[in-house]
Copies of this chain bind each other. A is one copy, B any other.
């Protein structure tokens, strides 16, 4: 594929427009996520400009998915009550046309979440975000990682990502040193980011929430789902680079990253983007 990819100026421009829309609206972004990263995820959304709403109990999550502008379902540590709330929310989102993101955290070796992820992906998420090991496991072509760390490189999950995208009509994003995004036909590759993102818990999970927020904003700008997912990734990883420049370690990086998400502007996106997409 890579010989057909060319540097993109379209996506940085779309990212700038979507970021302005996120800050203007802001999109109400429902998150049903794991307790480890819930606070960081909410702060990332707030810094980006979105309005987080961590509504994830049975009897409310489905109603709220109809009110919200977007939904994130993250399988990080799902006890039974939360699993039921996730299914309820997905039904509510699909009924209302609310875009939603599935993050199949640590699936593969762990049976409960692997089964749940298989059920949820069959509900046609607007986007799926995971590391290479998780995407391989979701496609049924890998054994999964040992927890949240990928043991496979993003390129190794390219075919698995295409398979999932084609089967369920989802945009699939594979996170890693280079982020790959596909809708089953087109491919976008983003080389921004910093390794310190992997040293902060929630560094990957919160990206899924930002993707949801950008999908919410895309309903106003008319951007398609693949562009919105790429735009979220670009804003997120450009902010990470900015934060890494002033960080003394993973603690100060996490703080600077939140500041950077609030500060990143159009010029940063246009100047710093290292993004390629299909030439056709």
Q: Which residues of B lie under 8 Å from residue A256 when comparing CB positions?
A: 251-252
Q: For chain A residues 252-275, which have a beta carbon within 8 Å of chain B?
A: 252, 254-263
One complex includes copies of this chain to the number of 3
Q: Would you list the 5 A-B pairs with minimal beta carbon distance, nearest first?
A: A251-B258, A249-B259, A53-B147, A42-B201, A251-B255
Query: Is A254's CB under 8 angstroms from B43's CB?
Result: yes
CA distance A77 to B85 in the complex (A): 12
CB neighbors of B among A35-69 (8 A): 35-40, 42-43, 46-47, 51-60, 63-64, 67-68
- Decide if A146 is an interface residue (CB 8 Å cutoff): yes
Closest to A85 in B: B79
A6 at the interface (CB under 8 A from B): no
Residue A82 interfacial (CB < 8 Å)? yes
Partner of A46, one of B42, B199, B260: B199
Contact A200:B249 (CB < 8 A) given known A38-B36, A57-B77: no
Nearest B residue to A248, CB-CB: B259
Q: Which residues of chain B are within 8 angstroms of A258 by Cβ–Cβ distance? A: 249-252, 254
The digit string for A71-87, where 1 denotes a CB below 8 A from any CB of B, is 00000111111100000
Are B201 and A52 in touch, CB under 8 angstroms? yes
Q: How many A residues face the partner with a CB closer than 8 A?
A: 62
Taking Cβ atoms with an 8 Å cutoff, the residues of A that contact B are: 28, 34-40, 42-43, 46-47, 51-60, 63-64, 67-68, 76-82, 106, 109-113, 146-149, 199-202, 248-252, 254-263
B202 touching A63 by the CB < 8 A rule?
A: no
B39 touches A201 (CB 8 A): yes
Enumerate chain B residues within 8 angstroms of A68, measured Cβ to Cβ: 146
Q: Are B36 and A54 in contact (CB under 8 A)?
A: yes
Q: Apart from A37-B39, A248-B259, A251-B255, what are 19 other A-B pairs with CB-CB below 8 Å?
A: A28-B147, A35-B54, A36-B39, A39-B202, A47-B249, A47-B250, A47-B251, A51-B146, A52-B201, A54-B76, A58-B80, A59-B111, A60-B111, A60-B113, A64-B110, A67-B146, A249-B262, A249-B263, A252-B258
Closest-CB distance, A130 to chain B (whole angstroms): 16
- What are 11 inter-chain pairs, A to B, with CB distance below 8 A? A28-B146, A34-B54, A46-B200, A52-B147, A53-B147, A57-B77, A59-B112, A60-B112, A249-B261, A251-B255, A251-B258
